[in-house]
């Protein structure tokens, strides 16, 4: 999850392995900024997007008339 550091997640994975968790866990880093869908919907409903909403997302919402835009 975006709320945790990579180190925290690695520690949790190590704990699972220490308990003989029967699967392989691969941590995949996400380069995308974190923004909640609720925030996007709220901003779209008033057609005012903050800097936290990437321009590509803003344009996609407008192009496809999402969230009542």
- All structural domains of the chain with their residue ranges: 6-68
The helix (run of H) or strand (run of E) holding residue 66 is none
pTM, to two decimals: 0.49
Using alpha carbons only, give the angle 19, 20, 21 rounded to the nearest 5 degrees.
95
Q: What is the pLDDT of residue 5?
A: 86
Q: What is the pLDDT of residue 33?
A: 67
Residues of the chain with pLDDT under 70: 1-2, 33, 69
Tokens, residue 24? 């392989």
Calpha distance 5→44 (Å, rounded)? 30
């Amino acid at each position: 999850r975006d709320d945790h550091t990579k180190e925290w997640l690695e520690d949790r994975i190590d704990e699972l392995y220490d308990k003989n968790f029967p699967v392989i866990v691969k941590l995949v880093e996400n380069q995308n900024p974190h923004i909640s869908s609720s925030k996007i919907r709220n901003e779209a409903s008033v057609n005012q997007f903050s800097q936290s909403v990437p321009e590509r997302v803003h344009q996609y919402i407008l192009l496809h008339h999402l969230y009542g835009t």
